[in-house]
């Protein structure tokens, strides 16, 4: 008779999770379950579901090979109860054990479900900073800026440190990481893995059970095993990391991945160890293969931003996802699902998302996120869209990134000012505007880039909140210096656009 049941969730696919390390193989049943409640609580991208289910099945095989007894419940098992709680109860009955051990899940709702099942919850050490450590750092601070947390993590890990000082004499090289890219650059491709028999079975299952979900299921080429994930990491470090820093904010039509790693889905489900990835990047820098701004920028994304948003998520509580400081109430337009729009930047970002379940951070923040911010779209609806459509999206990462950084809906907890920008920013960092229906240099009129008028409309309607912000004072001075007639024309252009958006769900009448 088994002494304990260890539940392994779909984003805990690592043999070093606390629940496995605290258990004896001989006295443990490992439970893994594909359940409809998790696969369907938002309309996940088909590729996302396939990626997680395939990675889970491969991890179950890895555990069995290592000597664990694994009880794996597939989605199409006729007896599947469709919930984690139901599968826990069924497994406890099958194996005659009441003891349940689990590594802390990544989401409030899952934690509540497991605690209701009487689970012993162990710390989630797939992260470098515990919830308690983050709370201690945040206690009593007037500002929770990521930069200061990141410095703490650099000191804790020793990454890119020269004694007690940062390598290169500064902590952050972000100012060197904003170069626009040229299509003439050599663009390395991420590792593409052909589906094996297990993945092919999952693809068929997803097509049967989720035929109407957002996104293209095939071609499917995500790594789904630890070995494949490690190959993808080495390929990124060798081929793309040297130029990652310079062009990490750039966007190009026809070049969806540029020098980005596409490793975040693999990290977020446990197939890659974040600290080992950072050490690989640091080693490449110290070997003279990667410039400092690239190594630092990549490491900052992992030990800085990734750890920081997870800390914010748990510190702020389950109501954080519903915050709406700017009182944005507009429904999410249908163009986010259809991609039908004459805005080239939005069409590119959404089209890529539909096909790949991926878009990089600037496409999310400064294109789809910026548009939602300027248009006053409900931040919770936008959060649920991001959560659904990206393969790397889990609530702990998506809520702070959307509610906090992208939509400023937390009132400035994460960011000292909103990430609002006109079409000029997109034009500077991409080639999207060259093929757009709209003209980025025009401010008013029906062919003017919508981002231009929406930008000033956003500033005008939120003047009371932001006029006293030192980082936004220049913007308001510029607005105030404009001719009154021009201001009225900008606001009228934005109002017409938003009315059309409300009527049609897009700037296209046929969307």
Q: Cβ distance 246 to 177 under 8 Å?
A: yes
pLDDT band (50, 70, 90) for residue 280 = very high
Question: With 50 as the cut, is the pLDDT of residue 511 above it?
Answer: no
pLDDT per residue over 450-492, tens digit each? 999 999 999 999 999 999 999 999 999 999 999 999 999 999 9
Q: Phi then psi for 448, rounded to 5 degrees?
A: -70, 145
Q: If we measure between CA atoms, which residue out of 253, 126, 250, 265 comes closest to residue 190?
A: 265
Least confident among 185-189, 381-385, 460-464:
185-189
Strand 165-166 to 161-162 pairing: antiparallel
pLDDT of residue 1: 52
Average pLDDT, the chain: 95
Q: Cβ distance 98 to 92 under 8 Å?
A: yes
Q: If we measure between CA atoms, which residue out of 418, 377, 378 comes closest to residue 501?
A: 377
Cα–Cα distance measured from residue 374 to residue 284, given in angstroms and rounded to the nearest whole number: 40
pLDDT per residue over 489-507, tens digit each? 999 999 999 999 999 999 9
pLDDT of residue 98: 84
Question: With 90 as the cut, is the pLDDT of residue 233 above it?
Answer: yes
Positive or negative, the CA dihedral 133, 136, 142, 147 is negative
> How many CB atoms are located within 10 Å of the residue 362 CB?
22
Instruction: Please state the rounded mean pLDDT for residues 93-118.
Output: 96
pLDDT band (50, 70, 90) for residue 179 = confident
Dihedral through CA 251, CA 256, CA 257, CA 259, nearest 10? -40
Strand 69-73 to 161-162 pairing: unpaired
Instruction: Please state the rounded mean pLDDT for residues 268-296.
Output: 97
Q: Cβ distance 133 to 153 under 8 Å?
A: no
Q: Phi then psi for 73, rounded to 5 degrees?
A: -110, 120
Q: Cβ distance 341 to 347 under 8 Å?
A: yes
Burial of 325 (0-12, 13-18, 19+ CB in 10 A): middle
Cα 83 to the center of its chain, rounded Å = 25
Cα–Cα distance measured from residue 313 to residue 131, given in angstroms and rounded to the nearest whole number: 10
Q: In what order do the strands lie in the sheet with 69-73?
A: 69-73, 28-33, 4-7, 100-103, 120-122
Q: Cβ distance 272 to 230 under 8 Å?
A: yes
pLDDT per residue over 387-433, tens digit each? 999 999 999 999 999 999 999 999 999 999 999 999 999 999 999 99
Indicate the pTM of the whole model: 0.96
Q: Cβ distance 228 to 262 under 8 Å?
A: no
């Amino acid at each position: 008779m088994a002494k304990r049941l260890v539940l392994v969730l779909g984003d805990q696919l690592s043999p070093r999770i606390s629940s496995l390390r605290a258990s004896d193989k001989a006295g443990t049943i490992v439970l893994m379950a594909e359940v409809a409640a998790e696969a369907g609580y938002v309309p996940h991208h088909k590729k996302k579901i396939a990626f997680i289910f395939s990675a889970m099945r491969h991890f179950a095989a890895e555990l069995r090979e290592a000597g664990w007894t694994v009880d794996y419940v597939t989605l199409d098992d006729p007896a599947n109860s469709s919930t984690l709680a139901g599968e826990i109860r069924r497994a406890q009955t099958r194996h005659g054990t009441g003891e349940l051990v689990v590594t802390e899940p990544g989401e409030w709702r899952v934690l509540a479900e497991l605690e209701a099942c009487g689970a012993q919850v162990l710390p989630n050490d797939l992260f470098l900073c515990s919830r308690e450590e983050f709370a201690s750092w945040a206690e009593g601070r007037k500002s929770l800026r990521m930069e200061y947390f990141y410095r703490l993590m650099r000191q804790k890990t020793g990454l890119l440190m020269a004694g007690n000082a940062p390598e290169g004499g500064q902590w952050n090289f972000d100012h060197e990481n904003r170069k626009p890219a040229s299509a003439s650059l050599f663009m390395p491709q991420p590792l593409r893995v052909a589906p094996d028999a297990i993945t092919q079975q999952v693809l068929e299952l997803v097509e049967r059970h989720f035929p109407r979900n957002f996104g293209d299921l095939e071609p499917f080429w995500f790594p789904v095993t630890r070995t494949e994930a490690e190959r993808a990491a080495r390929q990124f470090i060798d081929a793309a990391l040297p130029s990652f820093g310079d062009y990490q904010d750039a966007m190009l039509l026809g070049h969806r991945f540029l020098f980005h790693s596409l490793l975040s889905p693999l990290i977020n489900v446990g197939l890659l160890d974040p600290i080992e990835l950072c050490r690989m990047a640091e080693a490449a820098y110290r070997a003279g293969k990667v410039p400092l701004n690239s190594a630092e920028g990549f490491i900052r994304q992992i030990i800085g931003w990734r750890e920081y948003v997870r800390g914010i998520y748990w510190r702020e509580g389950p109501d954080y996802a519903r915050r709406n400081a700017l009182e944005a109430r507009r429904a999410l337009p249908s163009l986010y699902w259809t991609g039908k729009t004459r805005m080239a930047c939005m069409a590119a970002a959404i089209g890529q998302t539909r096909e790949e379940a991926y878009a990089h951070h600037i496409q999310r923040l400064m294109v789809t996120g910026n548009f939602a911010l300027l248009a006053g779209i409900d931040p919770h609806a936008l959060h649920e869209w991001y959560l659904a459509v990206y393969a790397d999206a889990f609530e702990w990462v998506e809520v702070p990134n959307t509610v906090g950084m992208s939509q400023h809906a937390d009132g400035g907890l994460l960011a000292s000012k909103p990430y609002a920008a006109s079409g000029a920013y997109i034009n500077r960092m991409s080639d999207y505007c060259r093929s757009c229906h709209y003209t980025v240099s025009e401010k008013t009129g029906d062919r003017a880039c919508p981002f231009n008028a929406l930008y000033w409309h956003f500033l005008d309607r939120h003047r009371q909140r932001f006029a006293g912000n030192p980082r936004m004072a220049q913007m308001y001075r510029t607005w105030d210096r404009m001719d009154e007639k021009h201001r009225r024309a900008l606001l009228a252009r934005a109002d017409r656009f938003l009315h059309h958006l409300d009527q049609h769900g897009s700037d296209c009448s046929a969307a």
